[in-house]
Structure 1
């Protein structure tokens, strides 16, 4: 399910973030200043401020004036761009995620209190203080890496090396005054060619290359300000493509969103049943094998992709508990399954809450559902993030099934359950709070008898 994401700033790096998030199905709103100063404007949504619309790769950004226009543009699967230097729109509309991509090298007013998930790009921010995560923006092995405690590498003022050149690539204003471009974006230039005039003084190319970026005309600039960029690789397509750097930063933002949002949820895997209807007496169905793999592992193995969640396996079987611990999961040992599923639910919930008292919700899944897919868990978590206060159930229009994800608002009711009654009783009490994730029947099938195919 799409998250509504606000990106402060609409320059080329911010646009790379927007593209990566939009391609993952999210809705994007971007804010900008009235006169954007984006050098790589051919690949920046900020261009929409003075051209009304900008197309970057396959994404269309449209200038909007208010909330009504924002919703209309989002409804067309486009990016909304709003002139809003202070980011005031975040106080008038709900956003699931806020990304500070202004790249000012300092915090201009972003706070962790701005939203449930706040992320900032580059230096000037401290994760855990100003925001939930900082994304490294300096080229190198850590580029795009989310930081959850601490800050990004300080700004050096020296651009990354491309084609053997760094500082020489930059085109800088020679004087204070009005910007008058001479060379055009995409034009091949030679060292010494006239590229622009600023404040009446010429600006010359320092290397051979292709003009990858240039400020628009009639912008007021100051001496030494970056006004353009020459790329020595002489590749015209690079002028119109979002940079690899921006894409990698965007992927880091996507990773941080997933980690931050999902870390507020617990996953409890129930594997303490008696298998009373399965095969011979005392035969444990969860240890029965298919293709050399015990039934319980079909679920636990898929859940290894959620290390950010608080994961708890509830069982009385040593093999299951040991396997869960070996793969980074917490465990709750239930040696009295005859007391009913309510006890297992409560044991799992208790471990989750002790590990993370601020959990927003817990998903309960049974280990005799070997057809359940990780993608279904992903969709349920997405729905929960988007709809706090709700219960999410996998199932069909005819019948609710497992897993079930319950918001923390229902934890007390879970703690009061008794006997062989699961979370479905809580679900039935509050039908108006239930959201259904339609799921393929083969995923919902629980294996109770040995004759069933799985």
Structure 2
């Protein structure tokens, strides 16, 4: 797969190592003046040295997509100075990994690529990325989160060899850095290890210098310019860390999971109902939290633009908006035939586009609180449990959306009237797997009184 990694520091390089050895094609972006402390194990070093060797990999500085392609053809990794990752337009990656590690999102969006991974704090799965990889040392390091965010930044470095804040080397003043100690040197507590802006910087502990900024970089007081490791293993200074490998493993897991579902599933939104319980009005066009009810569902599908998405509707407004968002419209002018007719129209459209499709996720259009993270988890679960029905639920109560494996397509095509998939599911409960969702997500709007519920106000 084509993968773009934003950032080329030591953790990003650990991610690149996992993906590179997994056979993926990689481009990494960096800023013009990298401030990577563990630079001997970071491809960011290529920005000012032209190339960087890290273990058995080579990163080479490039200035264009053409140069990047040449480096990729040679089996190496191109590094480009591109703070805003504008090369995305030409590279068109399958996956973007934001590994800038800024502790906040600097502009990455869930719609930037078919699959977007946020690394560390500052990202929320389903909001600005498809998943988040945990970076905090401890039991959950490297865990892939498909719902929620990573543990917030505490400002306290992880414990290595019994030390936390003491192991950091920080600038004593504003100005250029002049390292006194080199990476791999043994130092004692109180020893001068660098000069910044004319101010001497002293080691706060004894150990081996594991990281130090390159000479001549403009720094400011209290900036992290190096670190010391009490374990005193020189090998650690020049190889990817356990933390970076763990985070890289999480990213590789997420990428592999995406590969497992890509081009195998479609999404169908059912939006052709007659709103009989809504007092005769079209509930899907009713304003809820500042926009038409149907817009909530369509908006939540924007991040899944790499999947085939169909909207079954008889309403021009919905058809027009769906097509603006790159979705296919299936026109149902006979809503009186019941939901079974809409299901079958949507399923036929999916099969016409891809006869070998593995499954179809059916979503209704009146659940304004449905979260994109739940849709992602349904797709992931289907990829792991082929031949089964994947259904959302809250504390044992099933709801929508539901993802149907192709094994059950004949049963869906045999439905009639206003009968949906519930009757099929009732016959084969052993074939159902449930994905837990919040109760608000599963609650649909059937009556006007439902809209006045405070839970639906943004």
Shorter-chain TM range is 0.5 to 0.7
CA–CA distance in structure 2, aligned partners of residues 94 and 49 of structure 1: 23
1:112 deviation in Å? 0.9
Name the CA shift for 1:355/1:60 in 2 (closer, same or farther; >3 Å).
same
CA–CA distance in structure 2, aligned partners of residues 350 and 216 of structure 1: 52
CA–CA distance in structure 1, aligned partners of residues 209 and 74 of structure 2: 33
Any runs of at least 4 consecutive aligned residues in structure 1 with deviations exceeding 6 A, and if so which?
348-351, 356-359
- How do residues 291-440 of structure 1 correspond to structure 2 at under 5 angstroms? 352-354=359-361
Structure 1 equivalent of residue 449 of structure 2: none
CA–CA distance in structure 1, aligned partners of residues 358 and 120 of structure 2: 36
For structure 2, which runs of at least 5 residues remain unmatched after alignment? 266-347, 365-374, 387-405, 414-458
1:177 deviation in Å? 1.2
- How do residues 27-426 of structure 1 correspond to structure 2 at under 5 angstroms? 27-264=25-262, 266=264, 352-354=359-361
CA–CA distance in structure 2, aligned partners of residues 68 and 353 of structure 1: 39
Name the CA shift for 1:214/1:263 in 2 (closer, same or farther; >3 Å).
same
CA–CA distance in structure 2, aligned partners of residues 58 and 351 of structure 1: 39
CA–CA distance in structure 1, aligned partners of residues 160 and 358 of structure 2: 51
Report SS of the residue matched to 2:149: coil
Instruction: Determine if contact 1:132/1:260 at 8 Å carries over to the other structure.
Output: no
RMSD, aligned CA = 2.8
Name the CA shift for 1:350/1:101 in 2 (closer, same or farther; >3 Å).
closer
Say how many residue pairs are matched.
287
Q: Deviations over 1:187-240 (max 9, x none)?
A: 000001100011111100111100000000111111111000000101000001
Report SS of the residue matched to 1:241: coil
CA–CA distance in structure 1, aligned partners of residues 230 and 250 of structure 2: 27
Name the CA shift for 1:134/1:350 in 2 (closer, same or farther; >3 Å).
closer
Name the CA shift for 1:178/1:353 in 2 (closer, same or farther; >3 Å).
same
For structure 1, which runs of at least 5 residues remain unmatched after alignment? 268-341, 363-373, 378-405, 416-454
CA–CA distance in structure 2, aligned partners of residues 96 and 9 of structure 1: 17
Q: Deviations over 1:222-263 (max 9, x none)?
A: 111100000010100000110000000001001111223423
CA–CA distance in structure 1, aligned partners of residues 66 and 112 of structure 2: 21
Instruction: Determine if contact 1:29/1:80 at 8 Å carries over to the other structure.
Output: yes
Instruction: Determine if contact 1:134/1:152 at 8 Å carries over to the other structure.
Output: yes
1:150 deviation in Å? 0.9
1:175 deviation in Å? 1.0
CA–CA distance in structure 2, aligned partners of residues 17 and 350 of structure 1: 31
1:93 deviation in Å? 1.8
